[in-house]
Each structure stands twice: as C-alpha cells, then as structure tokens.
C-alpha cells in the first residue's frame, strides 16, 4: 500500500513538462501556499526538535578546569618550587672582617654550589652574617634577621664537652631567631686561640659549628665550608647529586599513608624457632620515628612472624670465612615471593604504600649466612634494601648448632633486637634518600653529623618536607594532566560531578601549597600538597571512570537512525519539491499577469 | 618479581641514645596452635578425613597488634570490622546424610551447603552492621580469592532472627550456591596456618587427592571468647579408598598414604598438640578393641589411647614420634565384613521444585522420618504427655522468586494440616524487588510418630532488568539451601573416660545443634533474547517512518491535478503498465481509469533512474560522512 501511494509522487511534479500549451507556461490563479506551508512547518518542527534531541542524548560531563590544570603543570614544570630559607653565619673571634664582605663571599660560594640547575624543593637563600671580634664587639649585616646577643658565645669555652650539649646550648642562643619567613639555619665559626684541629659538627636541630684555631688565616677555606654546610647539608640533606636513588623516590602512598610491615622469617622452624617482642620495639624505638615523620606521612606499624620461608637464592660455603656466603649478584633472587607471604594487610587501604622490613633467620643448612660485598668484604649489617619495596636483614643465631631433636623456641635478645632496629632505621633513612652514615665528607673536609634518637634530625625533616611538597605537587600536576588529556580524548565519557569537585579541590590545595611554600610554611605546604596529590589520584582512579563504558556514537546512531533517517529523507524531499513547484507556479502566474497587462 | 633490587651496604648507624635499657619480660598469655586429624570409616565404603586446626590468641587490648602465630590478616580483619563471630565455608559436593551421619557433631558442624556460606556477628551499633558486612565481604573476597563480594548487595543476604539457631540482631547471613571451590581457595586458607602445608598434618593435603573426593568442605570459624580470639580452621573430605572389590563384602582397607598419596613425617613444630584420631562406629565387640589386632580389623600403629563412647570407639595417635625415617602412616585392614549405620537426624530433609512453565511454580520441603527416630524419641521432652519433635526451617528467597506466603501449606503424613497445629511460630520478611531478599523462618512442632512432613509454598517468577542477568543466564538461578535445625536435639560425643585437654575432642564434647542443609534448587527464569531491544527499536522505527512518510505524501498530493494530467495523456499504454494500473485499481477498489496515465516510457524511466540515482548518492553520501565522522574519533 505504502509503496503504491509513494509512486504517484513523481508524476505530480511532471505536469509542468507536458500540459496544454497555455497551461504549460502560465496560470490564471495565484498558486496555493497550503502544501508548502505544511511541508515547511513539518521540516521546521523537525529542525527545531534537533537541539532537544541532541540535548537528550548528551551524556553528563562535569566541567573540568582544563585551563587551570594546564597552567598548574606549566608552573610546576617551568618554575620549580622554592622555599625561603634564612642562613645565618656567626663568626666568633674574627678581628678584621667586614660582615657585608663576608656575606657576599658566602653568597658567591652558595650560588656556585647551587649552580644553574635549581632543583625542585630547594631554597630561596637569604644570608646574614654576624662577626664577633675577639674583644666581643659585634658587627652585623643589615637587615639583621636574628637578634644574636653579642658575646653569648664565648670564644674559648665554646665547643668543650659533648657535642650534644653544645647543640643544646646553640639552640638556646638562637632561640630568639624564629622570626622571619622560612626556617632559619645557623653556622657558628669559632676561631680559637690555642691550637686545636678544625672540627665541624652538624647538630640535631638546625645548627652547625666549625671550631678550630687559626681560622682567620685560612679565611677562604672557612667561607667555602660555611657555604658548603648551607647548601650541601642544610639544603640538600647531604645527598649526593649522582645518587642512584633518585630524589623523586618518596616511599609514601598517594593517600599520604605508609605502612611499615615488619616480618620475622624463620626459614626452617625444624632447626630453631626465634620469636621477638615486637610490641616493646614498637613502643620504645619506632614510635618516636613515626611521630617525627608525622607531617610527611601517616605511618602505621605492623608485624608478623612467618615460618617455613626459605630464601630462593643459593649460598655457598666459604672455607676462609667459615660461613655461608651470598653475593650481591644473588640479591635479586633472595626475596622468595612464592613462600614469603608478606603481603595481605587489611590495615593498608587502597593506595597506601607498604614498606616491608624482613628479618631472615637462616636454617641450619645455611648458618651462618653472610652477605659478601663486591670488594670481598663481609657486610657489617648483613642486609640490603630494595627501593620502594623495603629492606632485608639476615640475622644469624648465636650458635649454629642444632641443640636437640625438638627445636626450642627462643626470643631474640633485646641487645640483638636493638641492633636490628638500628639497621632498620638506617635502611629506612636510605629509602627516604638519606645517608645512613654519621659523617658527611666533601673535598674540603668531613663533617660529623649528630644522629637524632628520632631517626631524622630537624634539618633532615625540613629537607624531607621540602622534597615531599615538591614531589607531591609534581605528581599532582602530572596526574591531573593525564586526567585532562584522557577526558579530552574521550568526548563521550561520562564525568561525574564528584570528579569535577575533586579536581577543583585538588587544584585549590595545590595553589595553597604553593603559596604556603613561598611563605615558608613547611608543614602546612607539605600537608596541603599531600591533600592535592591524594585528591588528584582519587579523581583519576574514580570508579566511574574505570568502569562506566561511555555511551558511544555507534549506539546512538543504531538507536535513532531507523526512524530519523527515512523520515528526514521524506520531509526534506517533500519540502524541496513543494518549494520548487511553488516557484514554478509563481513564475507561471507572473507571466500570466504580465500577458494580461499587456493584453 | 619484577622489581629491581639494588644493593646497598649499610654501615652501622650509631644511635647512642638507642641503648635504652628495655626490660623484656615474658608474656603472661601465649598464642597457641594445635592441629588434629580425625579419620572415620563410613558405612558406604568411604573414609571421612576431618582436619582441624585451632589458633588461639589472647585479647588484643592486652597483647597489642603484634602476633607470633596468629595470622595477621585475620586479626586485622577483626580489628577493622569489629567481628564478634564469623564463619566462612567453601563446599563442593553434597553431604550424604543417610550414610555419613546426620546427628553427630561432625556432620552437624561440618555438613555445609554447596558453594560459599558466610555468616558474621558484629560488635558495632545496629545501624552500622550492614556497612561492616559489606566491607567484610570485600575483604574476605580478596583474602580468599573468591567472589564473596557478591554477598555485598542487599539482595543476597538476610538478617535471621531466631531461625538460624543464633539469635542476635547483629547477625548477617548469606550464601553463594554457584561458587566453584578449588585450590585457589585452599591456598590462602592454608596461608593462615603457621606451618601452611609444609609440615605436620596439613602436609597431607595433596591437592589432587583432596579434590578427587566426594565431598570437600573448608571452613573457617572465628570467635571472640573470654580469653581472646579463637580461630578454627577445618577441612572435611570424604574419600573413596582405591580397592578392588573382592566380592566378600569387606570394607575397603586403607592407609594414609593410599588415601592422600603422602605421609606425615612429623608434627608442625609450632603446634602445641598434634594428634590423629580414628573413630570406629558400630563395632561388634567394643570391649576387645583396645588391642592392636583383633578378629575384625588390624591397625598398623598402636594407638596411644583408646576412648569409648556410647556407639563408637576412638583411637588416639600422637604423631610426635614420627620422623623422616619413620613416617606416620596409619593403615586399617578389615578382616571381617562389617556393617553399621550412622546416627541419623530425627528427620531427613530434602527440597524440590514443583510446577512447570516460566511463570510460576512451587517449592516443597519434604521432611521424612528416619530410622533413628525411634531411638531418639525416647530422649525427647514430652509435651503434655505427647512426644514432640521441634524443627526450625530457615530459608532465603531471592527477590526474583516472588513467594506468596499465604499459599504456605503443611502436610503431615499426607494430610493437610491447619497451620496452627504444627506451626508454632513463623517469621516472614517479604522481599522487595531489587532491594532485598525474602526470608522465612518457621518453627514446627511435630508428633514423634510422624512419617513425613511436606511444606509447600507457591511463587511467581520475576523479571529481571536486562543488566541484571548474569552471564549464561540460561543455566538458571540458584535458590540457596534451606537450613533445618532441631533445637531440642544436640549432638555431642559422650566419652566414658575423663577427657584431657585435646582441642578437637573438647570441641566434640560440647553440645552442638543438630542441623542439616537441603539441596540447592535451580530455577529456570525466562531469559530474553539479549539483542531484542535493538530489534524492537528497528522494527518500530521503520513502521513509524513508513507511516510518517506516506502521511506526508498524502497531505501534499494534488488529486485534481493528477487526474487532469492523466486525462491529457494519450490512450496508448504498454500492456504491462495497463495491467499494473488495473491491478492497483482492483486493490484500491476503484473503477479502472480507462484513460490511464502514460508517460513516455523513456521519460518515466529517466525520471525514475535520476531519482534512484539521487537517492543512492544521498545514502552513499550519508554513509561516507558517517564513516569519516566515526573513524575520525
């Protein structure tokens, strides 16, 4: 039926071709507008409906601030974050030196050491110098950042006694110096009268001192060392530039949490069983460390004892050393992921980082077990670390003789346990990129570094929070950048409001971190950068991005084309024909009119 | 291990201030682990092996978060979700209540429904129980490599009040009958044991022999007790010893190595006690069986102790003495044919579907009296001079099985019974579509001499949304097992001798509720043709488009003009054309217009072909544009 009614259509258009002679070229009546109106209204109603249809098939996309994201990543890339740091040098017992000249010399030294490549998380240095002459007269650079009371440091009595006590006394001296923006680091140089060798110590707080005689004569060297302490130690945390552990490694989860999982592995409990009292270690030794690191990461500690956990590499008997040896080349195969069930931590949620610390007790067949270094020496700690994974310590029992048939349960003695924890802390520091040695050596000499009972000294924590802020901001910027690239590349992907909000808040937190950093708020910028990173990661890993497949064009086309394609054909063609016919007829009418007028 | 391991020599970090004098004392309460294995010949020539591991930890508030034997994962689970009691079981194969026992402790504790069953009691405010449950299912799902997380949705779990045998308003129960249980579930379960399967009794768990069995159920029960946490892990397997049938009707002889393909070479050194038990039922002369050899059977190893019970004898072996050179390989050799029957539950429960078609049906639960009922009825409490059996029925219905609770009918000995006579208590929570599953709890009180009880209830099958169908929807949908428990019947082993503190035996001595699970039902639902939406869209759209197009054409048709035009045409028409016009006229029911239209054939065809060409070009253009547009993306 439909086909046949469709068929006459073309014939309706043809009358113009072969009518009677007079009808062919003209008509006497005005052409009707009815059909043209009908078809055009239908066409227009279709056209006006299109936006509604478009709106209805549109998928929900929360507006992401693409521009802000781009500007943030540009900022992070082009201008590395810098914190204001104040360096204060006090020269005691120097007679003939102008503080302003000293300052410019130190400034030169500092600039030389910082060099061209300004690392992210470094300092915007401002230096002030105080010179105290042997007769206790002071001259300062202006503006003075610190109210150092002249004559508090006595030239001769300084540096006697324990280093810790000196450190404490310096803290009292500079206690009034908290003013100004950023953290304030000080170096005291004491030129003594009686002959002492030069000694340089870096304290637990933010102070260092160089004590010696005849320093005024070796003036250039002293200035060099002062600037070295400022840049290499206080600013960079005593890390080497070419360290293979890159500064970007920050073993903190993206939600700002870090789980330290300690495991004691009895490789063969049939030989001997060792146990530990970890509760006490946790309370006495680890709690101060986790407290000290609280601004950088939320650290939790857990422990377990595992049995039947052989290592997966082989060890060989060394006759000379009377022990079993495993070499550094064996280390990649030491961790036995099949038998060491270290994982499974319900405490670690989602994206927190787990650092595994493993104490491995060798079985009777491989006891004592030692790590041989490439230089044929035996490692003193008998342990190694794997960056971003954790550390392993091999602990040999006192005696390697199997006592009897039934193994007895022993507890690792407190002294041994303390040693193990010391090695742990060293490994932990290394995982954060610090040295585990108590000295720092450079070309100009070596510095003694006072270790803190909290594992990290204050200036080290400053370095950490600077690096951490920088790392967080960088990772936040890259995460948001990839999110915006992803979103822009998939125009039909649903983006929920939550994601948009998370991105917004993340950008806000990043801005706050940047402004806090420029104001010198170390912990506040660290915490807001942490927030920025975790929000960015939350947005990127939002379940709706991962799981909801987008409503594709193909689907849309498949659903709507069976109706709209044929109907649109009809409507458009009908309107076109009517319009053509109307023009034709009107032309005819006009010719008729002109002929009538002429007639 | 993909990560690169860098090596660092770490010189000693000298932390002087660390040399604190820390007084290390010994713990007052120790963590305890014990392992045991119970072997039991079954009347139908099979052997049951029941591994039982018990791990006790003192309360965490006094002892802290650091454990020595107790698995870290479980204690973290308890702390995080505040679990008070929890049981998780993975089961494959149905438990044969007739031959393997129905009312003893072993079967009422370890006969579990097929698939995964999880119930947990939480120690949180009532409003947070559901959240805790959801989180717990996810955590367990990750821990045990199983799809327990499907129990998260509110349509798959229920909160039983009293029908489950444990009354608490913070209890949640759910089961997944479809879950396939295999070695990937056993490995994480073994990881919770301090010796895993490296040493001790668990070394017997040779995967091929364990999974070859007729029944396999791995259970984990965690409970908070006064003295801390108690984690019980048990694995029950029913195995068929490989023997040739010798025609003498002798029970098959077996040894541990023939059953499992492995031997025990020593206890797990961390276990406080490590025992193997052999339970023999239905012996002819129970007095004589303290001997290693007797006329009925022979054991290869002399038992360390023998315990007598009312109907069985228990031989206890200590595996301390075994070693690599002298492995513990217990074997049992039968000499005389022997027959016995197991203790049966008062009623044997089975469940089946009735009705046909894809619209409605009925579920029937049939309780049949067992042989043992006469024996047991003597023990029953007499209620008003009449002997009664109490039975609780607990059943969960998925929401797409829409049960009409008014159609509940109870037939006692094939006589329809008015409900109040036997039905003492009923609790129904109806299901809500796509929101929650339905639950029915019934308490029946039946006369002891009852032969059979049938409970039937009718249901309509619901329709699921197209997204809600699981893959392979045509297989059908499972209705979880119903639980029948007998609150007045308690299973326990009653030993004549004074018991030492052997964990498994003290467990058996405790009275436990007699319970049995029914089969899982498979309900076929109407499954749609999943391409149907597109078909429907296409056909309706085509019809609409045709209607619309013809309507539009009819509106702008000029009939007068057409007729005029046709009249002006010459009379010569092609035979075919005339035939066609006549035919169309016939269809339209109009008289044949004799001066039929006759455009010159050439003009007609040229017009047609140009139009056709135009249409083809249009379609091709649209297609090309579409192609360009879609590939551009």
Q: Which residue of A has its CA nearest to B22?
A: A414
- What is the C-alpha to C-alpha distance for residues A140 and A147, in angstroms, rounded to an integer? 10
Whether the per-residue pLDDT at A243 is higher than 80: the answer is: no
Nearest Cα to Cα of residue A426 among A357, A515, A476: A357
State the DSSP code for B432. B
- Evaluate the CA torsion angle B465, B470, B476, B480 in order and state its sign: negative
The pLDDT tens digits for B405-451 are 999 999 988 888 776 778 888 999 999 988 899 999 999 988 888 88
Q: Which long-range contacts (CB under 8 A, 24 or more apart) does B613-617 make?
A: B615/A569
Asked if the Cβ–Cβ distance from B557 to A269 is below 8 Å, we say no
The pLDDT tens digits for A534-550 are 899 888 888 777 655 55
Chain A contacts in chain B segment 372-411 (CB below 8 A): none
| Closest Cβ opposite residue B537 in set A284, A414, A562 | A562
Of B551 and A88, the structure prediction assigns the larger pLDDT to B551
**Between the CA of residue B157 and those of B130, B164, B171, B232, what are the distances in Å?**
10, 13, 10, 24
- Give the best residue of B20, B31, B72, B570 to mutate against chain A (max A CB count within 10 A): B72
pLDDT band at A4 (very low <50, low <70, confident <90, very high): very low
Whether the per-residue pLDDT at B384 is higher than 70: the answer is: no
CATH number of B347-465+473-482+518-523: 2.60.40.740
User: Mean per-residue pLDDT for B400-409?
Assistant: 91
Lowest-pLDDT range of A61-75, A261-275, A467-481, B585-599? B585-599
Q: Please give the sequence-ordered ranges of beta strands (E in DSSP) within B240-385, or none if there are none.
A: 254-255, 273-281, 297-299, 305-308, 312-318, 331-334, 347-354, 360-369, 382-383
Look at residue B394 in the predicted model and tell me its pLDDT. Answer: 93
B602 touches chain A (CB under 8 A): no
Residues of chain B neighbouring A328 (CB-CB closer than 8 A)? 7
- What is the C-alpha to C-alpha distance for residues B133 and B74, in angstroms, rounded to an integer? 15
Look at residue B558 in the predicted model and tell me its pLDDT. Answer: 81
| Orientation angle between helical segments B532-555 and A34-57, nearest 10 degrees | 160
Question: How much of chain B, in percent, has pLDDT values that exceed 90?
Answer: 25
B633 touches chain A (CB under 8 A): yes
User: Mean per-residue pLDDT for B56-74?
Assistant: 78
Mean pLDDT computed over every residue of chain B = 81
| Closest Cβ opposite residue A10 in set B66, B584, B607 | B607
Whether the per-residue pLDDT at B570 is higher than 70: the answer is: no
User: Mean per-residue pLDDT for A360-370?
Assistant: 87
Specify the 3-state DSSP secondary structure of A392.
Answer: strand
Of B246 and A213, the structure prediction assigns the larger pLDDT to A213
Of B333 and A244, the structure prediction assigns the larger pLDDT to B333
Q: Output the CA angle A586-A590-A593, nearest 5 degrees.
A: 140
B198 touches chain A (CB under 8 A): yes
Look at residue B599 in the predicted model and tell me its pLDDT. Answer: 47
Look at residue B446 in the predicted model and tell me its pLDDT. Answer: 86
Find out whether the peptide bond into A266 is cis, omega within 30 degrees of 0.
no
User: Mean per-residue pLDDT for B134-151?
Assistant: 90
Asked if the Cβ–Cβ distance from A19 to B565 is below 8 Å, we say yes
pLDDT band at B117 (very low <50, low <70, confident <90, very high): very high
Of B31 and B248, the structure prediction assigns the larger pLDDT to B31
Asked if the Cβ–Cβ distance from B15 to A430 is below 8 Å, we say no
Question: How much of chain A, in percent, has pLDDT values that exceed 70?
Answer: 84
- What is the C-alpha to C-alpha distance for residues A232 and A242, in angstroms, rounded to an integer? 13
Look at residue A10 in the predicted model and tell me its pLDDT. Answer: 42
How many other CB atoms sit within 10 Å of the CB of residue B567? 10
Residues of chain A neighbouring B536 (CB-CB closer than 8 A)? none
Interface A-B, measured as beta-carbon pairs within 8 A, has a size of 240
pLDDT band at B190 (very low <50, low <70, confident <90, very high): very high
Look at residue A103 in the predicted model and tell me its pLDDT. Answer: 78
- Ramachandran class of B413: left when φ > 0, alpha when ψ lies in -120 to 50, beta otherwise: left
Whether the per-residue pLDDT at B121 is higher than 90: the answer is: yes
Q: Counting beta carbons within 10 angstroms of the beta carbon of residue B26, is it exposed (0 to 12), middle (13 to 18) or buried (19 or more)?
A: exposed
User: Mean per-residue pLDDT for A438-443?
Assistant: 72
Question: How much of chain B, in percent, has pLDDT values that exceed 70?
Answer: 84
Look at residue A426 in the predicted model and tell me its pLDDT. Answer: 86
B82 touches chain A (CB under 8 A): no
Length of chain A: 599
| Closest Cβ opposite residue A562 in set B11, B538, B608 | B538
**Between the CA of residue A397 and those of A322, A391, A416, B127, B500, what are the distances in Å?**
15, 19, 10, 52, 37
Residues of chain A neighbouring B589 (CB-CB closer than 8 A)? none
Of A102 and A326, the structure prediction assigns the larger pLDDT to A326
Lowest-pLDDT range of A39-48, A246-255, B501-510? A246-255
User: Mean per-residue pLDDT for B199-221?
Assistant: 91
- Evaluate the CA torsion angle B528, B531, B534, B537 in order and state its sign: negative
Nearest Cα to Cα of residue B72 among B143, B121, B132: B143
**Phi/psi at B479 (nearest 5 deg)?**
-100, 125
B623 touches chain A (CB under 8 A): no
B608 touches chain A (CB under 8 A): yes
Look at residue B88 in the predicted model and tell me its pLDDT. Answer: 95
- What is the C-alpha to C-alpha distance for residues A335 and A360, in angstroms, rounded to an integer? 10
Look at residue A177 in the predicted model and tell me its pLDDT. Answer: 61
Measure B535 CA to nearest chain A CA, in Å.
10
Q: What is the ipTM metric for this complex? A: 0.76
Structure tokens at A39: 């078809």
Look at residue B239 in the predicted model and tell me its pLDDT. Answer: 92
Residues of chain A neighbouring B6 (CB-CB closer than 8 A)? 244-245, 384-387
Look at residue A345 in the predicted model and tell me its pLDDT. Answer: 64
Q: Which residue of B has its CA nearest to A428?
A: B10
Whether the per-residue pLDDT at A160 is higher than 70: the answer is: no
Whether the per-residue pLDDT at B19 is higher than 70: the answer is: no
Please check whether residue B108 is in contact with residue B491, taking contact to mean a CB–CB distance below 8 angstroms. Answer: yes
pLDDT band at B607 (very low <50, low <70, confident <90, very high): low
Measure A538 CA to nearest chain B CA, in Å.
19
Lowest-pLDDT range of A160-169, A176-185, B94-103, B547-556? A176-185
User: Distance from CA of residue A49 to its chain's centroid?
Assistant: 50
State the DSSP code for B436. B
pLDDT band at B364 (very low <50, low <70, confident <90, very high): very high
Look at residue B375 in the predicted model and tell me its pLDDT. Answer: 47
Of B12 and B98, the structure prediction assigns the larger pLDDT to B98
Nearest Cα to Cα of residue A206 among A175, A181, A165: A175
pLDDT band at A82 (very low <50, low <70, confident <90, very high): confident
- What is the C-alpha to C-alpha distance for residues B446 and B452, in angstroms, rounded to an integer? 10
Whether the per-residue pLDDT at B605 is higher than 80: the answer is: no
Look at residue A248 in the predicted model and tell me its pLDDT. Answer: 55
How many other CB atoms sit within 10 Å of the CB of residue B429? 17
Look at residue B481 in the predicted model and tell me its pLDDT. Answer: 92
Of B243 and A30, the structure prediction assigns the larger pLDDT to A30
Asked if the Cβ–Cβ distance from A5 to B556 is below 8 Å, we say no
- What SS3 string covers B78-99? HHHHCEEEEEEEEEECCCCHHH
Whether the per-residue pLDDT at B289 is higher than 70: the answer is: no
B551 touches chain A (CB under 8 A): no
Please check whether residue A184 is in contact with residue A174, taking contact to mean a CB–CB distance below 8 angstroms. Answer: yes
pTM: 0.79
B522 touches chain A (CB under 8 A): no
| Closest Cβ opposite residue A12 in set B22, B545, B557 | B557
- Give the best residue of B202, B556, B573, B632 to mutate against chain A (max A CB count within 10 A): B556
Residues of chain B neighbouring A383 (CB-CB closer than 8 A)? 10
Look at residue B26 in the predicted model and tell me its pLDDT. Answer: 40
User: Mean per-residue pLDDT for A50-54?
Assistant: 86
Asked if the Cβ–Cβ distance from B552 to A39 is below 8 Å, we say yes
| Closest Cβ opposite residue A337 in set B1, B16, B195 | B1
Look at residue B38 in the predicted model and tell me its pLDDT. Answer: 92
pLDDT band at B604 (very low <50, low <70, confident <90, very high): low
User: Distance from CA of residue A436 to its chain's centroid?
Assistant: 23
Q: Which helix (H) or strand (E) holds B549?
A: helix B532-555
Whether the per-residue pLDDT at A178 is higher than 60: the answer is: no
Lowest-pLDDT range of A156-165, A590-599, B353-362? A156-165
Of B501 and A4, the structure prediction assigns the larger pLDDT to B501
The pLDDT tens digits for A392-405 are 999 988 887 776 66
- Give the best residue of A240, A345, A562, A581 to mutate against chain B (max B CB count within 10 A): A562
Look at residue B576 in the predicted model and tell me its pLDDT. Answer: 67
B568 touches chain A (CB under 8 A): yes
Nearest Cα to Cα of residue A369 among A378, A329, A337: A378
pLDDT band at B455 (very low <50, low <70, confident <90, very high): very high
| Closest Cβ opposite residue B10 in set A328, A423, A438 | A423
Look at residue A448 in the predicted model and tell me its pLDDT. Answer: 76
Look at residue B351 in the predicted model and tell me its pLDDT. Answer: 93
Residues of chain A neighbouring B549 (CB-CB closer than 8 A)? 2, 6, 566-567, 569-570
pLDDT band at A14 (very low <50, low <70, confident <90, very high): very low
Enumerate the domain spans of chain B: 29-334, 347-465+473-482+518-523
Q: Please give the sequence-ordered ranges of beta strands (E in DSSP) within A426-497, or none if there are none.
A: 439-442, 445-449
Q: Which helix (H) or strand (E) holds B141?
A: helix B129-144
The pLDDT tens digits for A185-236 are 878 887 777 766 777 788 777 878 887 777 777 777 777 777 777 777 777 7
B556 touches chain A (CB under 8 A): yes
């Amino acid at each position: 039926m439909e086909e046949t009614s469709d068929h006459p259509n073309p014939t309706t258009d043809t009358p113009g071709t072969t009518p009677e002679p007079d009808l062919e070229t003209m008509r006497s009546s005005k052409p009707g507008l009815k059909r043209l109106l009908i078809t055009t209204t239908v066409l227009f109603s279709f056209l006006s409906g299109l936006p509604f249809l478009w709106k209805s098939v549109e998928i929900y996309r929360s507006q992401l601030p693409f521009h802000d994201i781009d500007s943030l990543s540009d900022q992070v890339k082009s201008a590395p974050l810098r914190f204001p740091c104040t360096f204060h040098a006090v020269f005691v017992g120097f007679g003939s030196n102008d503080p302003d000249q000293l300052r410019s010399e130190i400034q030169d030294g500092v600039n030389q050491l910082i060099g061209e490549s300004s690392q992210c998380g470094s300092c915007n240095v401002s230096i002030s110098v105080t010179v105290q002459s042997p007769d206790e007269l002071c001259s300062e650079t202006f503006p003075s950042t610190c109210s150092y009371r002249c004559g508090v440091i006595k030239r001769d009595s300084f540096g006697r006694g324990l280093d810790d006590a000196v450190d404490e006394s310096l803290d009292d001296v500079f206690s009034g110096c908290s003013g100004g923006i950023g953290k304030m680091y000080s170096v005291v140089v004491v030129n003594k009268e009686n002959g002492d060798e030069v000694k340089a110590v870096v304290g637990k707080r933010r102070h260092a001192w160089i004590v010696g005689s005849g320093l005024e004569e070796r003036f250039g060297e002293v200035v060099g060392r002062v600037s070295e302490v400022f840049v290499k130690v206080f600013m960079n945390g005593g890390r080497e530039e070419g360290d293979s552990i890159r500064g970007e490694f920050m073993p903190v989860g993206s939600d700002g949490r870090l789980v330290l999982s300690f495991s004691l592995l009895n490789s063969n409990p049939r030989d001997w069983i060792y146990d530990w009292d970890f509760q006490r270690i946790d309370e006495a030794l680890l709690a101060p460390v986790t407290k000290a690191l609280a601004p950088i990461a939320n650290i939790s500690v857990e422990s377990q004892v595992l049995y039947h956990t052989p290592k997966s590499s082989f060890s060989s008997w060394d006759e000379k050393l009377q022990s079993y040896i495993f070499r550094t080349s064996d280390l990649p195969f030491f961790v036995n992921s099949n038998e060491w069930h270290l994982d499974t931590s319900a405490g670690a949620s989602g994206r927190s980082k787990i650092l595994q610390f493993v104490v491995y007790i060798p079985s009777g067949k491989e006891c004592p077990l030692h790590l041989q270094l490439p230089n044929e020496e035996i490692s003193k700690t008998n342990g190694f670390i794997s960056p971003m994974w954790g550390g392993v310590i091999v602990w040999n029992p006192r005696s390697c003789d199997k006592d009897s048939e039934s193994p007895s349960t022993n507890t690792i003695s407190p002294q041994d346990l303390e040693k193990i924890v010391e090695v742990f802390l060293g490994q932990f520091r290394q995982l954060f990129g610090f040295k585990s040695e108590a000295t720092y050596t450079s070309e100009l000499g070596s510095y003694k570094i006072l270790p803190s009972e909290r594992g990290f000294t204050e200036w080290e924590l400053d370095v950490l929070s600077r690096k951490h802020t920088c790392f967080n901001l960088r990772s936040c910027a890259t995460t948001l950048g990839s999110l915006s690239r992803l979103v822009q590349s998939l125009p039909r992907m649903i983006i929920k409001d939550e994601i948009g909000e998370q991105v917004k808040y993340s950008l806000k937190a990043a801005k706050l971190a940047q402004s806090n950093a420029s104001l010198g708020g170390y912990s506040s910028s660290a915490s807001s950068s942490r927030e920025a990173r975790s929000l960015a990661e939350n947005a990127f890993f939002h379940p709706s991005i991962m799981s909801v497949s987008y409503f594709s064009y193909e689907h849309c086309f498949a659903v709507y084309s069976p109706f709209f394609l044929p109907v649109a054909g009809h409507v458009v063609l009908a309107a076109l024909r009517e319009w053509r016919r109307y023009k034709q007829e009107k032309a005819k009418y006009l010719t008729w009119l002109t002929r009538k007028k002429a007639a | 291990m993909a990560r690169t391991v860098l090596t660092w020599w770490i010189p000693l970090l000298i932390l002087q201030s660390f040399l604190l004098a820390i007084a290390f004392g010994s713990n007052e309460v120790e963590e305890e682990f014990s392992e045991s294995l119970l072997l039991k010949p079954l009347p139908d020539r099979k052997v049951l092996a029941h591994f039982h591991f018990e791990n006790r930890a003192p309360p965490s508030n006094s002892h802290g978060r650091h454990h020595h034997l107790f698995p870290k994962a479980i204690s973290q689970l308890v702390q995080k979700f505040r679990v008070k009691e929890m049981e998780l079981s993975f089961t494959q194969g149905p438990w044969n209540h007739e031959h393997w026992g129905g009312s003893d402790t072993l079967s009422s504790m370890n006969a579990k429904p097929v698939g995964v069953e999880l119930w947990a009691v939480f120690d949180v405010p009532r409003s947070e129980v559901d959240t805790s449950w959801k989180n717990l299912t996810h955590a367990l799902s990750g821990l045990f490599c199983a799809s327990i997380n499907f129990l998260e949705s509110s349509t798959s779990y229920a909160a039983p009040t009293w029908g489950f045998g444990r009354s608490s308003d913070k209890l949640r129960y759910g089961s997944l009958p479809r879950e396939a249980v295999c070695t990937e579930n056993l490995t994480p379960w073994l990881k919770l044991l301090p010796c895993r399967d490296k040493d001790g009794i668990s070394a017997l768990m040779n995967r091929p022999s364990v999974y070859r069995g007729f029944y396999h159920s791995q259970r984990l029960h965690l409970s908070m007790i006064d003295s801390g946490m108690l984690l019980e892990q048990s694995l029950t397997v029913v195995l068929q010893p490989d023997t040739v049938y010798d025609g003498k009707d002798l029970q098959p002889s077996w040894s541990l190595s023939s059953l499992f393909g492995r031997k025990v070479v020593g206890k797990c050194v961390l276990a406080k006690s490590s025992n193997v038990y052999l339970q023999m039922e239905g012996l002819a002369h129970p007095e004589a069986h303290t001997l290693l050899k007797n006329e009925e059977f022979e054991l290869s190893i002399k038992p360390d102790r023998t315990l007598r019970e009312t109907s069985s004898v228990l031989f206890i072996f200590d595996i301390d003495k075994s070693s690599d050179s002298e492995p513990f390989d217990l074997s049992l050799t039968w000499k005389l044919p022997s027959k016995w029957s197991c203790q049966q539950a008062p009623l044997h429960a089975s469940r089946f579907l009735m009705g046909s078609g894809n619209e409605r049906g009925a579920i029937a639960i049939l309780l049949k009296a067992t042989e043992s009922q006469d024996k047991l009825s003597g023990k029953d409490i007499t209620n008003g001079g009449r002997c009664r059996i109490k039975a609780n029925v607990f059943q969960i219905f998925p929401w797409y099985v829409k049960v009409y609770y008014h159609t509940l009918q109870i037939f006692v000995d094939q006589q329809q019974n008015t409900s109040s006579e036997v039905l003492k208590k009923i609790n129904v929570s109806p299901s809500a579509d796509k929101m929650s599953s339905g639950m029915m709890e019934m308490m029946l009180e039946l006369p002891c001499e009852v032969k059979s009880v049938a409970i039937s209830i009718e249901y309509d099958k619901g329709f699921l949304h197209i997204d809600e169908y699981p893959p392979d929807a045509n297989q059908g949908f499972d209705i979880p097992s119903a639980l029948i428990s007998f609150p007045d019947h308690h299973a326990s082993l009653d030993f004549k001798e004074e018991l030492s503190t052997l964990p498994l035996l003290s467990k058996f001595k405790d009275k436990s509720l007699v319970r049995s699970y029914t089969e899982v039902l498979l309900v076929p639902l109407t499954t749609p043709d999943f391409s149907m939406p597109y078909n429907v869209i296409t056909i309706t759209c085509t019809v609409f488009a045709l209607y619309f197009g013809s309507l539009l054409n009819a509106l702008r048709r000029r009939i007068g003009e057409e007729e005029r035009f046709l009249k002006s045409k010459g009379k010569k028409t092609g035979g075919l054309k005339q035939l066609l016009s006549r035919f169309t006229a016939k269809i339209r029911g109009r008289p044949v217009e004799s001066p039929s239209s006759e455009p010159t054939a050439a003009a007609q065809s040229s017009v047609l072909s140009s139009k056709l060409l135009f249409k083809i070009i249009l379609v091709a253009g649209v297609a090309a544009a579409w192609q360009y547009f879609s590939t551009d993306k």
